[in-house]
Amino acid sequence: DHRSSKSALFDGLDNLEEGGIRASSSFSHDVKDHDNGKAIESLHDRVAFLKRLTGDIHDEVESHNRMLDRMGNGMDATRGIMSGTMDRFKKVFEKKSNRKMCTLVMAFVVSFLIIYYLFR
């Protein structure tokens, strides 16, 4: 009887050499379920975070696209205005009398600015 109890006590000793005493299957199953639950919860939190992050990135990209579209439209309008202005300057400089008048106006504007800055 003593021998059988000793044998029952050291039956799992061979398992120590193979990697440790194995827990009962229901206990290890519960531990695995618990670990899986934690991992799933952690993964769910990460997915929710990434979803919010990608939504924020999408909103930011849409905002930048709208801003770039407005800037492009503004640049097109400016290009049109500058093109019209340059056409008018070309017409003015084609005639000598207009060129002299433009030079006189430019000299007046420059001298006005110089006097303004001197008395300021």
Domain that holds residue 38: 3-95
The answer as to whether 119 is a domain residue is no
What is the torsional sign of CA 111, 113, 118, 120?
positive
Q: What is the pLDDT of residues 59-69, one digit of tens each?
A: 999 999 999 99
The answer as to whether 60 is a domain residue is yes
In 84-117, which positions are buried (b, 16+ CB within 10 angstroms) versus exposed (e)?
eeeeeeeeeeeeeeeeeeeeeeeeeeeeeeeeee
The answer as to whether 101 is a domain residue is no
Counting the structural domains of the chain, the total is 1
Place of tokens 């991992």: 39
Confidence grade of residue 2 (pLDDT, cut at 50, 70, 90): very low
The answer as to whether 78 is a domain residue is yes
Q: Are the C-beta atoms of residues 110 and 117 closer than 8 Å to each other?
A: no
The answer as to whether 105 is a domain residue is no
